[in-house]
Structure 1
C-alpha cells in the first residue's frame, strides 16, 4: 500500500492529512469550510485515493489559511505516498462534464510543479468559500506534490458545476497518473532515472 501522512501545525492551522493511493475512494474530511469538504470528497471518490483531511483553522480571520494549508498537506501526503515514483503511469488527463460545464485536466507527476489555470467564476463565493481560492488550492497542491498541472474550463455558466467538474477531472487524471503500469512496475518513468526536477 502506498500511503502518506502529514501533520502540519502553525499559529494559523492544525492540519492532519493521510492518503492511500491504492484505496477505494473512502474519505473523512472536516476542514470547517463546507464547500471545500465537498470538493475534497469528490476528489477522493473519483480518484479512488482514500483521504483523511482534518483541519482546525483560524476561520475567525477568514478561510485563506485553512484552504491553503489543507492543499499543502494533501500535496505533501501524495508526494510521500508516491516515494520515488517507481512504476507509476506518471501522466493523466480527463475531460469531466458537469451538466452544462466541461473541464479539461492534464497532469504530469514530474517533480516540476507548475499550475496553468484557465477558469473564471462569475460570483465571488460558493457557500462561504471565495472562488479566488480555488486556483490557489490547486497551485498549493501542485507545488507540494511536484505536479505539472494544466486545468481549463472549456465552457460553463454555473459556478458550482464549473468547479465540481474541475475537481472531478483532477481526480480522474490523478487516478490514471498514480496507477502502477504493469509493463514497467519496476522502473521510474523517466529517461533520467529519477523524477524530481
Structure 2
C-alpha cells in the first residue's frame, strides 16, 4: 500500500493527515469547517484515495489557516505516499459536470508545482468557508504535492455546484494519475528517469 502520514503543528493549526493511494475512498475528516469537510469527503470518495484528516485551527479568527495548512499537509502526505512515483500514469484529467456546472481539471504529477485557476464564485461564503479559499487550498495542495494543476470552470451559476465540481474533478484526475500503469509498473514515467 502506498500510504503517507504527516503531522504538522504551528501556532495557528495542529494537523494529522493520512492518505492511502490504494484505498477505496474511505474518509474520516474533521477540520471544524463543515463545507470544507464535505469537499474533502468528495475528494476521497471519487479518487478512491483513503483520507483521514484531523485539523484543529484558529477558527476564532477565520478558516484561512485551517484550509491552507490542511492543503499543505494533504499535499505532503500525498507526496510521501507516491515515493519515487514509479509506475504511476502521471497525468490525469476530468470533465466534471454538476447539474448546470461543468469544470475541467487537468494535472501532471511532475514535481513542478503550479496552479492555473479559472473559476469564479458569486458568493463570499459557503457555510463558514470563504469561497476564495478553494483556490488557496488547490494552490497549497499543488505546491506541497509537487503537482502541476489546471482548474477551469467552463460554466455554472450555483456556487455549491461549482465548488463540488472542482473537488470531484480533482478527485477523478488524481485517481487516473496515481494509478499504476500495468504496462510500465517498474518505470518512472519520465525520460529523465526521475520526477
Per the shorter chain, which TM-score range? over 0.9
- Which residue of structure 1 lines up, in the alignment, with residue 157 of structure 2? 157
Question: In structure 1, how many angstroms separate the alpha carbons of the residues matched to 2:57 and 2:135?
Answer: 19
Which residue does the alignment assign to 2:181? 181
* CA distance in structure 1 between the aligned counterparts of 2:154 and 2:110, rounded to whole angstroms: 25
What TM-score do the two structures reach when normalised by structure 2?
1.00
TM-score, with structure 1 as normaliser: 0.99
Distance in 2 (CA, whole Å) between partners of 1:142 and 1:47 is 16
SS at match of 1:18: strand
Asked whether 1:48 is paired with 2:48, we answer: yes
Cα deviations by residue, 1:25-52 (Å, 9 ceiling, x for unpaired): 0000000000000000000000000000
User: What are structure 1's unaligned runs of at least 5 residues?
Assistant: none
Q: Which segments of structure 1 move beyond 2 Å, counting only runs of 4 or more?
A: none
**Cα offset for 1:85?**
0.2
**After the TM superposition, which residues 1-197 of structure 1 pair with which residues of structure 2 at under 5 Å, given as runs?**
1-195=1-195
Give the drift of 1:150. 0.3
Structure 1 CA distance for aligned equivalents of residues 63 and 162 of structure 2: 21
Secondary structure of 1:183's aligned partner = coil
1:60 & 1:131 partners in 2: Cα distance? 18
Which whole-Å CA distance do the structure 2 matches of 1:41 and 1:62 have between them? Answer: 21
Query: How far is the alpha carbon of 1:68 from its aligned partner?
Result: 0.4
For 2:34 and 2:128, locate their aligned partners in 1 and report how far apart those are by CA, in whole Å. 8
**Residue ranges of structure 2 left out of the alignment (5+ in a row):** none
In structure 1, how many angstroms separate the alpha carbons of the residues matched to 2:2 and 2:27? Answer: 16
Q: How far has the Cα of 1:63 moved from its partner?
A: 0.7
Q: CA deviation at 1:61?
A: 1.1
2 CA distance for matches of 1:3 and 1:41? 18
Report the CA distance between 1:137 and its aligned residue: 0.2
Question: Displacement, 1:118?
Answer: 0.1
Within 1, Cα distance between the matches of 2:194 and 2:9? 31
**C-alpha deviation, 1:100, in angstroms:** 0.3
